Amino acid sequence: MIPLDQLALGEEAEIEQIETDHLPLKLIEMGCLPGNAISLIQKAPFSDPLYLKIDESHLAIRKETAQHIFVRLKK
Amino acid sequence: MGRSINIALLGNPNTGKTSVFNRLTGLTQKVGNYPGITVEKKEGICKLNRTTRAHIIDLPGTYSLNASSMDESVVIELLLNKNSKDFPDVAVVVTDVENLKRNLLLFTQVKDLGIPTLLVINMADQMKRKGISVDLPFLEKKLDTKIALVSTRENQGLDLLKELLLNYRQLSTQPTIDLYTIDQQYFENLKAAFPNQKLYKLWLVITQDVNFAKIDRKRVSDATDFRTQSESELKRLQQKETVKRYQFINEILKVGLFIDRDSATDLRSRLDRILIHKFWGYIIFFLILMTVFQSIFDWSSIPQDFIDTSFAALSELAKTRLPEGVFTSLLAEGIIPGLGGIIIFIPQIAFLFLFISILEETGYMSRVVFLMDRGLRRFGLSGKSVIPLISGTACAIPAVMATRNIENWKERLITILVTPFTTCSARLPVYAILIALVIPQGSFFGLNYQGLMLMFLYLVGFGMALISAWILTKTLKINSKSYFVVEMPNYKLPLLKNVGITVWEKTRTFVTEAGKIILAISILLWVLASYGPGKDFSEAEQIVTEMHLNIEDEALTTKINAYKLEHSYIGILGKAIEPVISPLGYDWKIGIALISSFAAREVFVGTLATIYSVESDAEETIKNRMASEVRVDGKPLFNIASGISLMLFYAFAMQCMSTLAIVKKETNSWKWPMIQLFGMTLLAYVVAFSTYQILA
């Protein structure tokens, strides 16, 4: 299990655990929930912000937020 | 007149909700502000049949009923307030067929409030291409509502929507989710305490962040007992609720929605690969900006010149055709130039919003935010502040209006406050004449001094905008908790109707709202310049004629005008502020120009021309006359020290009533424009003072 900001470009993973207190409810409501698929589409320079596909949503979040999401790589 | 029903349009951003609104209401729509805040309130009328009219409110786009911005709290406030005159008889949730799952989350929330709720599935034209099909009867049954499949692009399905709206009474108001399954104990206690209220409504009131709240809590004020649960406990319940809702939605979509992934063509990833590339992304963005600002400058200059000459001609016509008198003078020198001063901004505003709405509509703007966020974040700005900051180089007025796209109020306010520092096109004539006057010709490593000075002034403007943004971020205590979560929508061709309505709305707002203030101040400045106390003003013609006996008529008129201006109220004001501005290296004549250029900075040159009784408007003539102006000690008035001091004063001072008027409109209070006026002028004074004292 790794924090989301360490996911490599194009890698597919599954959300394993989220630190609810540090995440905006909006992100959770957009599908950032354990069990959902997640992949990193693009990074801005300095790896911040991150452009993700979470479940069926395409969205960008900052690195500081991504550190509170833990994912497991898909084999 | 028959009956009228209230309709609220809701939906996630980027679902085409506003397109549905535009299709239904066309140009009957009104855009205003919600009382006391600066969230745009859009409403319009739609005739459903011969006897029924619908009053439609296009609520701000929201992802859920748990507000995380001022815009979103407006939505909840309306849905919770049964006494509001706008309270909807029926809610319409607009969804995008490609993001149905996430969009339905909002639908289930709205329906759980017990309001009759219709579902619109938009972008039906995309279904075939994306390999999507839906089982409408199944979805209608499971979601317990009626569904209109709509394509705003092809204008399909809207008649069905109108028909469903007419029959809204048949919609069920049963909740979709059983809240007890989230936490039996907690919700049973809640229900026991307020047996007459809808459970989900109670739950919403309890969980809304107080920061945004103007929600009427009175009836459930005792519900604060239920806040005794810790914040993180409440959030855990909210998360559980979200999971429940998704379970419900997933069960339904498993059967009701079919996506054939293979037939989907992936335009998004192909475009994203280039448009947000670490290197090419920035180059493309830069090129787009260059195109936009070139066209704002170039394309607008044609209609602007036309407006300029037309109003000058109109003013001349009024002067020659109407009988001489106060009224004619007010019309020809106050009202007509004042109106011209408003209308001249229309081309720039219209062009800027044409481009901005196209960039928004295509989905490119979110990519800009993604690219620029990190760089601007350290100054307390948002990725979205880029557009206003750079459009400020054309004109601060459309730039301030363009901040509406920034959701976070604090970031938006700071962007509004610092945008006037960027070098707008009205500063150029002032810089041009002063640079030509005081900066020597010659070059340094092939770079011409005068060009360097101009570049320096642009950099100083941007630099000051960033520095003051940083200071404001640290000092302004505004509680606008927000997180950076930006949806990256699909790329789409812009809908002409949406673009047209945006351009029309923005231009109209400027003319009607800011225009009033600009016209009022223009008339005030006219009064100050056309009246003066005592004989010096009233008998100016006689005095000047006696002083210059052998002089041609035209030259005499110029001299009389100069003499009148000197002894008018504005001239007296100029003299009164002389002690204050002389440490900056200015005399009372520059003082008059400073005051009158409050109408618009470029007036500086014209005013000096009048004071120095220069007969021609040609820049060269004015420049030569300025160069020969001397101080009491015989040294030239305009030298390096006073020239640079004056340019820096113009770089920082808030000398534009039109900008103040639009800031008042956008922030809904006089507080912020006044802070700008005094803060920037003070800064300009201090900088100009130190510059002159050091250089002189």
Cα distance from B408 to chain A (closest Cα, Å)?
A: 14
Phi, psi of B328 (to 5 degrees): -60, -45
Closest CA to B118 of B139, B147, B144: B147
**Tell me: the pLDDT tens digits for B204-240?**
888 875 434 444 444 444 555 565 567 788 888 999 9
pLDDT, residue B262, reads 61
**Tell me: the pLDDT tens digits for B533-556?**
888 888 888 888 888 877 777 778
A42/B239 Cβ within 8 A: no
3-state secondary structure at position B148? strand
**Tell me: the pLDDT tens digits for B615-629?**
566 667 778 888 888
Binning pLDDT at 50, 70 and 90, where does residue B144 land?
very high
Interface size A-B, in CB pairs within 8 Å, comes to 107
For residues B2-24, give the mean pLDDT.
Answer: 91
Between residues B648 and B428, the one the model is more confident about = B648
B242/A33 Cβ within 8 A: yes
In this complex, the residue of B102, B484, B489 whose CB is nearest that of residue A56 is: B102
Residue type, B301: S
Say how far apart CA B112 and CA B117 lie, in whole Å: 9
Cα distance from B505 to chain A (closest Cα, Å)?
A: 29
Over pLDDT 90: what percentage of chain B? 36
Mutate to test the interface with A, among B235, B485, B488 (most CBs of A within 10 A): B485
For residues B660-664, give the mean pLDDT.
Answer: 91
Cα distance from B112 to chain A (closest Cα, Å)?
A: 16
pLDDT at B166 over 90: yes
For residues A22-47, give the mean pLDDT.
Answer: 91
Say how far apart CA B659 and CA B650 lie, in whole Å: 14
pLDDT, residue B215, reads 42
Contacts of B682 (CB under 8 A, 6+ apart): none
Query: Which residues does chain B have within 8 Å of residue A56's beta carbon, measured at their own beta carbons?
Result: 98-99, 101-102
A51/B276 Cβ within 8 A: yes
Measured CA distances, B446 to B137, B440, B441, B449 (Å)? 75, 14, 12, 9
Query: Rounded mean pLDDT of chain B?
Result: 86
Q: Which of residues 7-26 of A touch B (CB under 8 A)?
A: 20-21, 23-26
φ/ψ region of B534 (left if φ > 0, alpha if ψ in -120 to 50, else beta) reads left
Q: What is the ipTM of this complex?
A: 0.94
Say how far apart CA B207 and CA B224 lie, in whole Å: 10
Is any Cβ of chain B less than 8 angstroms from the Cβ of A37?
A: no
With contact defined as beta carbons under 8 Å apart, do B491 and A56 qualify? no
The continuous run of DSSP H or E covering B252 comes out as helix B231-256
Q: Which domains does chain B have, with CATH numbers?
A: 3-262 (3.40.50.300), 519-695 (no CATH)
Say how far apart CA B323 and CA B329 lie, in whole Å: 10
Q: Which domains does chain A have, with CATH numbers?
A: 2-73 (2.30.30.90)
In this complex, the residue of B105, B276, B485 whose CB is nearest that of residue A27 is: B485
pLDDT, residue A24, reads 86
pLDDT, residue B480, reads 62
Binning pLDDT at 50, 70 and 90, where does residue B249 land?
very high
- For every residue of B57-102, DSSP letters joined together read EEPPP-SSSS--SHHHHHHHHHHH-TTSTT--SEEEEEEEGGGHHH
Q: What is the pTM of this model?
A: 0.80
pLDDT, residue B216, reads 44
Cα distance from A45 to chain B (closest Cα, Å)?
A: 6
Question: Are β-strands B52-58 and B3-11 bridged in parallel, bridged antiparallel, or unpaired?
Answer: parallel
pLDDT at B10 over 90: yes
Tokens 């993973």 belong to residue: A13
- For every residue of A10-54, DSSP letters joined together read T-EEEEEEE-GGGS-HHHHHTT--TT-EEEEEEE-GGG-SEEEEE
In this complex, the residue of A21, A46, A61 whose CB is nearest that of residue B484 is: A61
Binning pLDDT at 50, 70 and 90, where does residue B470 land?
very high
For residues A38-56, give the mean pLDDT.
Answer: 91
Measured CA distances, B692 to B23, B385, B581, B653, B687 (Å)? 59, 33, 11, 16, 9
Between residues B116 and B492, the one the model is more confident about = B116
